[in-house]
Structure 1
């Protein structure tokens, strides 16, 4: 069945199709009367409008912010919203829409609020049918969500899960590296993309487009200095992942980061999937020669394009004459009569070395094959705990991982800000380093790191959530302000005293205490 589509055999009730872009529903009699018209070919413009509206609503749902369910003609109460969501899962989309919108029990506008959607300003005063498509997408998203496991809800539950689990999957994002001063990409005011917009780039992602790089690599080389990784340090959160490995509990760390700090922290390459590649290596775009990534760092700092030294060596070898330039299909390019005799016509090749590109995954390149094989063939059926740290989980296919795992696998979310499109069992909001340190303290584990002060103990406060059992908590240092939603560790509370030497994987597992 298509998203939100409902076909109801009730003659005089309107048929509500939540996938339609029509402005109003029609009765079943009207549909029968106009059946011949339905076979008329639709214009491309109509098709494009439908696609555009779906994209608009998808973006709207991605950016949805929490709002108060105050009740009223157009807004559900907390109790109503909870009841509607429960009913949807009980009867499915078709029966749910018939019971609510089709029968006139509740408007589509009001029903949208049950799924956390505040009616957008551009639909203010619009007919109720204008909300059908938005409601259909919201219903589809609700049905695709994993269901929370009610037996887990507190930070103590999370600590106990750490102790008893044997195959822990860790999914990480930029939030685990920001305490080292490495910027993330997508934060509204502090991310790297925000900086690019301030510099005049309308679409910051173009800087990381593979076709743009091949056409003009100077743009990337001028800007990439701000995201070069730290080669000598890693964060307490990286240390936490390494501790899981020491205890024999780490199944796989799927990292969306490109800084390669996991390797410096001692994560076994066999247990590490760098979903978006990394700075660890760089490859020539012409000959495929690969070198350590740090070999091009100085070029990036100096904003100079790094040329392939292997190509340069090969070009230095004398050759018996110049070759005719080849066309794109490999054949010789024949000189046309319209060509003049000047060498500037490009008739002959001018040998040039290839450009070195760091092996981070650009837009237009596929994810490493290992991401899919490791997840499908190894991890999917044996993982017994998922911990998502420092990522908004908006970039597919990594964002889809929590939804495809077995429904009985507990999932914990750790980040500064909450997300709404995935239902985790326990949400721990705060600085990632502080949260993992507190989790280890509760689990009786000794997490040692230069950035963790001796005797660190965090405070934990509940976060109110409309119509849901308490499972979201703010974790913060006593000296910081718990009302500050960013929960950033203040300067001086956690300080890096000296560089940390690179780890090996030979350390013995430690015994664990009980909560």
Structure 2
């Protein structure tokens, strides 16, 4: 059984100076342009600009929890929508510049950005997908509101909060009860999503990590395998990660700023969500 485990908390941020950041963005854009099968690995940092907290940042869920905050979850008043980074990735997928997105995030924003499920591996589950407890048939769920997202985010706490993963819906194939596909802390990861992620990673000629601390196993083994195969690995994160030492390029900047710069260098516009 492969389970969702985390490492230690880290909240120090190390931003690159503006001139260094811009030079690194140019390098990343060149790598994307030259790639034929790049895979993007995303973590909570890609969704913070949508109002969803990360885990190890200064106001991250695990950071606050380690400081004794009993209820570290924020109050979201509206359902979050895809960020600039989500939309830039969706555009690059459509253009054939990226082959797959492998995400730790449960917020469902990659799916809402328009990425087809065949090109998306959500290894920790998603609020946008329910699964039958009997036959394991998967169903898209578009009825997620802010309150439900907050409830399901508590599954990532250690120990998990009092979330109810079960729904009132039934499977049309076998009649079984549907539950959210979100993986609670310490639970097994969905085998099919992990297999999809592994398959695309094995074929990748470039790996780009956006907003992940790379401290959660087995997710972190995927980008590590690229570095071991001597294929370039780029890490975009304001915080240090355990894989910085094997990365071909480390960028200390926000994912939105970096992806906006990459798209500008590629001569591509970032589509607006819902347009």
Matched, 1:362 2:193: no
The one-character-per-residue Cα deviations of 1:187-230 (angstroms, maximum 9, x if unpaired) are: 2x3112344456655xx9xxxxxxxxxxxxxxxxxx87757983
Greater RCO, 1 or 2 (C-alpha within 8 Å, sep 6+): 2
- Could you say if the C-alpha distance between residues 287 and 227 of structure 1 is closer, same or farther in structure 2, counting changes exceeding 3 Å? farther
Report the secondary structure of 1:277's partner residue.
coil
Contact residue 210 and residue 235 of structure 2 kept, 8 A = yes
Compute the displacement of 1:240 (Å).
Answer: 1.5
- Between the aligned partners of 1:301 and 1:154, the Cα distance in structure 2 is 34
Pick one of 249, 255, 263 that aligns with 1:432. 255
The one-character-per-residue Cα deviations of 1:154-200 (angstroms, maximum 9, x if unpaired) are: 4333221111111110000011110111111232x311234445665
* Correspondence list, 1:464-483, <5 A: none
Matched, 1:444 2:217: no
Pick one of 501, 507, 514 that aligns with 2:274. 501
Compute the displacement of 1:441 (Å).
Answer: 1.7
- Could you say if the C-alpha distance between residues 229 and 400 of structure 1 is closer, same or farther in structure 2, counting changes exceeding 3 Å? farther
- Could you say if the C-alpha distance between residues 229 and 199 of structure 1 is closer, same or farther in structure 2, counting changes exceeding 3 Å? farther
Report the secondary structure of 2:204's partner residue.
coil
Corresponding residue for 2:51?
181
| Equivalent residues, number | 242
Matched, 1:412 2:234: yes
Matched, 1:403 2:224: yes
Report the secondary structure of 2:181's partner residue.
strand
Matched, 1:388 2:223: no
Contact residue 121 and residue 197 of structure 2 kept, 8 A = no
TM-score after normalising by structure 1: 0.41
Pick one of 95, 116, 129 that aligns with 1:268. 116
Corresponding residue for 1:254?
102
Contact residue 224 and residue 243 of structure 2 kept, 8 A = no
Report the secondary structure of 1:434's partner residue.
helix
- Between the aligned partners of 2:269 and 2:229, the Cα distance in structure 1 is 31
- Could you say if the C-alpha distance between residues 158 and 400 of structure 1 is closer, same or farther in structure 2, counting changes exceeding 3 Å? same
The one-character-per-residue Cα deviations of 1:426-447 (angstroms, maximum 9, x if unpaired) are: 1121111011111222233333
- Could you say if the C-alpha distance between residues 266 and 272 of structure 1 is closer, same or farther in structure 2, counting changes exceeding 3 Å? same
- Between the aligned partners of 1:292 and 1:182, the Cα distance in structure 2 is 21
Report the secondary structure of 1:363's partner residue.
coil
- Between the aligned partners of 1:238 and 1:438, the Cα distance in structure 2 is 14
* Correspondence list, 1:215-364, <5 A: 226=75, 230=79, 233-282=81-130, 293=141, 295=143, 297=145, 300=148, 309=168, 357-364=179-186
- Between the aligned partners of 1:301 and 1:403, the Cα distance in structure 2 is 30
Gaps of 5+ in 1: 1-57, 67-152, 205-222, 312-353, 450-499, 503-515
- Could you say if the C-alpha distance between residues 279 and 409 of structure 1 is closer, same or farther in structure 2, counting changes exceeding 3 Å? same
- Could you say if the C-alpha distance between residues 421 and 308 of structure 1 is closer, same or farther in structure 2, counting changes exceeding 3 Å? closer
The one-character-per-residue Cα deviations of 1:275-294 (angstroms, maximum 9, x if unpaired) are: 10010134577998977645
- Between the aligned partners of 1:428 and 1:255, the Cα distance in structure 2 is 19
Q: CA RMSD in A?
A: 3.9
